[in-house]
A and B are shown apart, each in its own frame.
Chain A
Amino acid sequence: MSRKQLFAAMLVAALLIAGVGSFYASSHPDGLEYVADKTGFGDSADDPKTSGSPFADYGTAGVDDARLSGGVAGVAGVLLVLLVMSGVVFAVRRRGREPATADSDG
């Protein structure tokens, strides 16, 4: 498999998992939430400060269809993470190549 084919496969897998697969995920509370509720500190959680975000709780504001709402939020999240992390890597690697800022700690 070529490098580009592998990269494409990884992106398609991530988009399908977040965009389609996530609809079938368990809606039970996760381990921490469950433990918090059972042992008595679940109520200490504040309401999320970003609950007004267009993709809050992995849904898309204004989209009623649950499958589409979650799918759009998932795809948007995957692309956003890809973009931000690729930007971080670009910056980190470019800085590393400049001899003036190269550090010598190994």
Chain B
Amino acid sequence: MHVPDGFLDAPTSVATGVVAAVGVGIALRKAGRELDDRTAPMAGLVAAFVFAGQMINFPVGAGTSGHLLGGALAAVLVGPWTATLCVSVVLLVQGLFMADGGITALGTNIVLMGMVGVWVGWLVFRAARMVLPKVLGMVPVAAAVGALVSVPVAAAAFTLLFAIGGTVPVETSTVFAAMVGWHTLIGIGEAIVTGLVVAAVVAARPDLVYGARDLIEARVLEIRGAAS
């Protein structure tokens, strides 16, 4: 979903740039609390994994493709503030070195993938965790649900920006239907990849998964309670 230079006009790009700068600024202040000495190395590795995952375009039919956005995945593994930083670093490297995503559109891309994608993924994950059974096995399921929803919502957010500052007059409803339709399909791929990767990390070391912390803490308390 990398927006190139030119899709959005200058005022809109400046505005998203300001929103992205404020969002990343807050994330820089908050991310430290999501990581401890044991989990800190996860952040760099998750960012690297998201970069790699974004290179794998999977076909979604009719000559189009999609790839992992990674917002929900990163949020569940290392926490939403850290995830915003992870995705922003990925977008920065892609924009500067891979010519993927515009430089004037960097703010737009951080807003869409690093903020909307991450936070919608995280909040839907949290909501899904509340209704699902409180067991570790449900963490990947909830992550997949968050991932599934995050992609079409980010696509809808792009449509909103395009309606405000698109450089070509195209009917908003046409763009909305096409963006959300295709990105719902891409969201299914996002859900599968996110679910599988979270399941693998939860199976290996659930104590290092940010989105499973409450379950681990509850388990430790139970063991302590039983021992006393």
Contact = CB atoms under 8 A, between A and B. Distances in A.
Interface stretch (B121-129, B163-171, B216-224): B163-171
Given A34-B63, A86-B41, A13 B57 contact: no
A52 B113 CA distance: 25
* Size band of the interface chain A makes with B: 35 or more
Interface of B: 1-7, 28-29, 31-33, 35, 38, 40-53, 55-60, 63-67, 82, 85-86, 89-90, 92-100, 102-103, 155, 158, 162, 166-168, 170, 174-175, 178-179, 182-183, 186, 201, 204-205, 208
B99 A48 contact: yes
B38 A17 contact: no
A33 B43 CA distance: 30
Contacts, number: 224
A13 B193 CA distance: 13
Contact of A93 (B40, B86, B98): B40
B66 to A, nearest CB: 5
A58 B100 contact: yes
Given A6-B208, A50-B96, A96-B33, 16 more contacts: A31-B1, A31-B60, A31-B179, A44-B7, A44-B167, A45-B7, A46-B4, A48-B100, A50-B99, A77-B93, A81-B44, A82-B48, A85-B85, A86-B43, A88-B43, A89-B40
Contacts of A45: 4-7, 102
